[in-house]
Structure 1
Amino acid sequence: MNIDVLIVGGGPAGVIAATVLAGRGRDVLVIDNGKSRFGHGELLSPLGAALLNNIDNRLFDPANHLCTSRLLSDWGESRTIVAMTNPHNNRSAWHLDRRSFDLGIERVALLKGAQFKRGERLKSSVRCHHRGIWEVELTDGSAYTSRLLLDATGQNCSVARHNGGQRIVLDRMVATTAVLGTSSGECEFRIQSRPDGWWFATMIPGQKVVACFLTDAHYLPVGASERRRFWLQQLEAAPKIREYATLTETFEIKSTPAGSGYLESAIGDGWLAIGDAALSVDPLASAGLANSIRTSRMAALAADAVLAGEHRLLGAYQRYTRRMAENSEITRRAYYAMEQRWSSSFWMERHGARRLNVEVGIG
């Protein structure tokens, strides 16, 4: 079967790119391994909401999500700063019901004409340079020829790395997250720094609170019971978070990569990387989803131009993602520089903002 674009990865980045491309009349297939994406506590910034509405005003329905009533920050000084937000203006952040959000954007993509295959992975991909196409096979045995591939596989950036892409790793931060009860009716976003990392807590639909401790991977104990004990000890030492969330009888702690990094080049021969595959930013900035929307839209426009025989937007997209990476690193350094109370390696490495290593592609 012949298609214009195969998108590998069915998260927000892949679905939004599919929406843009299908809306421009392109034959698009999105494949996804079907694994659950743990997206609790994700914030959609005012910029992110505006970007979605500019693409298609059906992509985001505020009625399905919670508006932040206030921000409480214990960062860089011992007192707490409170900033109020207003749900009736365009400067409000939204606490996403992630399942509702994902289903909503996929529904729009389907209405535009995009196709989806859930529970499938890319088994093989061969670039036929003389024909300018990819010959690909999925794990279900189906075969396609696609003119372009979009890598929306997150920080793994498997398509890019398989084809020689290099990912610059800035840190190995891990998010350890649990869904708890709430002791307050306020929809707040709380953040508190600690000697070995930092916390955030936020309400999500259903009167629940997501509490997340972010630290470097080497701080985390090995083993589920030891990691749970470590997490509870860190919670006990974070009063601004502890007073907002209430422990339930049973709760699960999930660990997910939350490090910063970017691809040295977000474009290659017949492929483009989008979302976290192109650039993953520190959760402190609450800009990850907005960045995914921006890269997905611009990459989709560049891909559409390539399919029409115009390649200039590829260079523009590469410059754009590099500029985003540079600006994100400047913001990252500035945020961490505000907190000078702690002297652990977690903070020292971020104050120095050193590059950890380059992950070289395997293809």
Structure 2
Amino acid sequence: MNPNQPIYDVIIIGAGVAGCATAIALKKEAPHLKIAIIERTSEINVEDLTIHKIGETLPPHASQQLQNLGIWESFLNCNFINAYGTSAAWGSSELYHNEYIFSPYGYGWHLNRLVFDQFMIREAQMRDVSFYFETSIISSEKKTKHWLLQTNTKIAITSSFVIDATGKKAAFSNLQNSTKIREDQMVGIYRFYNLKDHHSNTNGIGNGTCVETDQNGWWYSATLPNETVVLGYMTDADIANQLQLRKKESFNNFLHNTKHTSSRIKDATYLSLPKVVSAHTQYLTAVTGSSWLAVGDAASSYDPISSLGIFKSLAMSQFAAYATLDDLKGDQSGLQKYQQIISKDYLGYKKKRQEYYAQENRYTSSLFWKRRQSKQSYLN
């Protein structure tokens, strides 16, 4: 081993919410651990107004996970917009309002994702977690007692344990021959709007999140800071191509046919062209291996209707930390338990997703809805 090589107890690949949360959870339980996060992109610049990252509404019960990680007070200091509920026209043309006032955890939050992601990085840095930005792993080799990771920056890094937090790419897991299983081909087509001069009726939605179905999928909209709203349409990739939803004219035509969603952005100024992102359900056949595991969307990714993206990353990061600590102590049973937890959670999610999509029965001839209401996964 080269004495000049950086040596760590844990290397985390990916500086998203899952990666940072796992580092924070590890440091909470074992402050002495030497941890580094490798991130292929550059550092976040929240002042760059040309960058629009899809936000998310954090549910009220996420407060428990933030408290468990020890970052609750710091999170509150970010002053994110409070979310008091959600509205949905699902299974009916009329809106149903789910007010968070009935939640024992209080209200939720509309996140500025750039600010939240930077917050998570800062919290990890405050706990002496090292970061390698603009760095990618190009090869990995498992030695007897450690991993040897080669990077695009010519740095060779040694680590006792590796955590894959690379999102749906599951880049490191793929190198370990774990297979990604895609359940569908869902995509989201998103646009951002400025509401500064918007004064139209919001149908009681207010500043909350709204979901509205149509024949080919469903619409999502949520308010963000700085008088901004993100609006997205969820459908399948082949349907999006057929309807040419990547073109702003087609996107707008379908949007104008909605009853509730269109009212939220009437006369608003658009800030971006339609952007397509993957939104498919996916899982890994194995989320653990010899001194490694996957966390967050790298382990499993859920349908956006679940609203569990960030919450799942916060919650599962703590289980990932416990499994990692067990392995560092020579106890592999923690990895087995972690695999079981991820698998059980995924099966529970699939059952709930099936039940929720079954509630929309107005579009029986629609390919999109037929696919969701079938008990079999599909791929085109």
Give the deviation of 1:18 after TM superposition: 1.1
What is the aligned counterpart of 1:307 among 328, 331, 348?
A: 328
The 8 Å contact of residues 302 and 317 in structure 1, kept in 2 or not, is answered as yes
1:145 corresponds in structure 2 to 158
| Percent identity between the two aligned chains | 26
Q: How many residues align?
A: 355
The alignment status of 1:206 with 2:226, answered yes or no, reads: yes
Distance 1:163 1:85 in 2: 42
Give the deviation of 1:63 after TM superposition: 5.0
1:361 corresponds in structure 2 to none
2:306 corresponds in structure 1 to 285
State the SS of the aligned residue for 1:206. coil
What is the aligned counterpart of 1:298 among 319, 331, 348?
A: 319
Distance 2:246 2:147 in 1: 46
Structure 1 residues 59 and 259, CA gap change in structure 2 (3 angstroms)? farther
2:94 corresponds in structure 1 to 79
Distance 1:209 1:140 in 2: 38
Distance 1:275 1:14 in 2: 8
1:3 corresponds in structure 2 to 8
Distance 2:105 2:191 in 1: 30
The alignment status of 1:32 with 2:52, answered yes or no, reads: no
1:52 corresponds in structure 2 to 66
1:124 corresponds in structure 2 to 139
Give the deviation of 1:325 after TM superposition: 0.5
The 8 Å contact of residues 168 and 355 in structure 1, kept in 2 or not, is answered as no
Give the deviation of 1:280 after TM superposition: 0.5
Deviations 1:166-207 (CA, angstroms, capped at 9, x unpaired)? 122111111111111333693111110011110011100111
Comparing 76-85 with 300-309, greater Cα deviation is found at 76-85
What is the aligned counterpart of 2:279 among 246, 258, 272?
A: 258
Structure 1 residues 15 and 58, CA gap change in structure 2 (3 angstroms)? farther
The alignment status of 1:42 with 2:56, answered yes or no, reads: yes
Q: Which amino acid aligns with 2:215?
A: P
Distance 1:350 1:261 in 2: 14
Structure 1 residues 199 and 249, CA gap change in structure 2 (3 angstroms)? closer
1:360 corresponds in structure 2 to none
The 8 Å contact of residues 191 and 271 in structure 2, kept in 1 or not, is answered as no
Deviations 1:260-308 (CA, angstroms, capped at 9, x unpaired)? 1111221112210000010101110111111111221111111012112
The alignment status of 1:322 with 2:327, answered yes or no, reads: no
Q: Which amino acid aligns with 1:43?
A: T
What TM-score does the superposition give when structure 2 sets the normalisation length? Answer: 0.88
Structure 1 residues 221 and 229, CA gap change in structure 2 (3 angstroms)? farther
Give the deviation of 1:227 after TM superposition: 2.6
Structure 1 residues 338 and 249, CA gap change in structure 2 (3 angstroms)? closer
Distance 1:249 1:266 in 2: 40
The alignment status of 1:164 with 2:177, answered yes or no, reads: yes
Q: Which amino acid aligns with 1:204?
A: L
Distance 2:227 2:307 in 1: 21
The 8 Å contact of residues 66 and 187 in structure 1, kept in 2 or not, is answered as no
Give the deviation of 1:88 after TM superposition: 10
The alignment status of 1:348 with 2:370, answered yes or no, reads: yes
Distance 1:297 1:305 in 2: 13
Q: Which amino acid aligns with 2:147?
A: W
Q: Which amino acid aligns with 2:150?
A: E
Structure 1 residues 59 and 173, CA gap change in structure 2 (3 angstroms)? farther
The 8 Å contact of residues 192 and 270 in structure 2, kept in 1 or not, is answered as no
Comparing 307-316 with 87-96, greater Cα deviation is found at 87-96
State the SS of the aligned residue for 1:120. coil
Structure 1 residues 38 and 170, CA gap change in structure 2 (3 angstroms)? farther
Q: Which amino acid aligns with 2:282?
A: G
2:125 corresponds in structure 1 to 110
1:336 corresponds in structure 2 to 357
Q: Give unmatched runs, 5+ long, in structure 2.
A: 1-5, 45-50
Give the deviation of 1:89 after TM superposition: 6.0
Give the deviation of 1:223 after TM superposition: 11
Q: Which amino acid aligns with 2:178?
A: G
CA RMSD of aligned residues (A): 2.2
State the SS of the aligned residue for 2:247. helix
1:19 corresponds in structure 2 to 24
Q: Give unmatched runs, 5+ long, in structure 1.
A: 358-363
The 8 Å contact of residues 64 and 100 in structure 1, kept in 2 or not, is answered as no
Structure 1 residues 337 and 269, CA gap change in structure 2 (3 angstroms)? same
What TM-score does the superposition give when structure 1 sets the normalisation length? Answer: 0.92
Structure 1 residues 287 and 258, CA gap change in structure 2 (3 angstroms)? same
